[in-house]
Amino acid sequence: MDRILVERLVREVINQHLGRQAGSPGGSTAGAKQCGCSGSGSGSGCSCKDGGACSGSACKDGLCVVHNAAGVRTIVDHGAERITSGAGVERAGGIDPELARMIDHTMLKADATPGEIEQLCAEAKKYSFASVCINASHVPLCARLLAGTPVKVCTVIGFPLGATATAVKAFETEQAIRDGAQEVDMVINVGMLKGGDYAYVEKDIAAVASAARRFRVLSKVILETGLLTDEEKIKACVLAQRAGADFVKTSTGFGKGGATAGDIALMRRVVGSAMGVKASGGVRSREDALLMVTSGADRIGASASVKIVGGETGAAARGY
């Protein structure tokens, strides 16, 4: 896809749908915080880290998914398909079965041990979570442990930087699928997008999406919106759609900031109903959750560092 065509499509989206000047770095809703917490943003006064709901080892503001069960239920009631959660529901005493079917049980931290992955899968199987999301080296273990269950195995590609070569991403996708992955979340090459090499970015996404499609595996494209201007978010969505991906997703959870309602509204307007949109980076409050859902998110990613449990609990949250 050449630069001229991308620029034309961006102008059409702005003129026909947004009715505003694109290019501001903070999301398309004025005043929206990148992190979405009750503090002042990712700097001083912010109570979350990398878009997560809890800073350090415990919730400090009472607005994480654990302590804001009503907000989680509101998301489900208003049409959210998935919620991301970390390990620990077993220790916390279980989870509402109605919510369990909406959860992507996630562990992407670098020091995750096989024992922790086994715990993740055991919880996912026991509570019938939608999927487990793990790094690719753990896919064979998860595929074996979850065989014969409805729980899907999801893994990440080019994660978390997105800067690996296209051929490597394609190989990584095919290998993960052979190992048992049923969903793949790839990260775009942010530097190439910002540098204007749109043909490279489209080809990069298409290599993963086509590999996934051959095996009927769902593909999601992580934009890392905290690093992009509004205009770049539009371009990334257009490229992902043209490349044949199934979803666009806001962030990795390891970058700067998380999902904002403005980003979700912007992404939904660009892709229309042809693709899914996932907000990742934390469920902060009832109001924020409602705003993201009504803005057009199909899936909501609460930080993987928190445990979604049934009711109030003071259990500590852990990281990706």
Residues involved in catalysis: 185, 249, 278
Place of tokens 């086994």: 118
Q: Phi and psi dihedrals of 232, rounded to 5?
A: -70, -35
d(CA 256, CA 50): 6
**Amino acid making up residue 159:** F
Closest CA to 190 of 174, 180, 201: 201
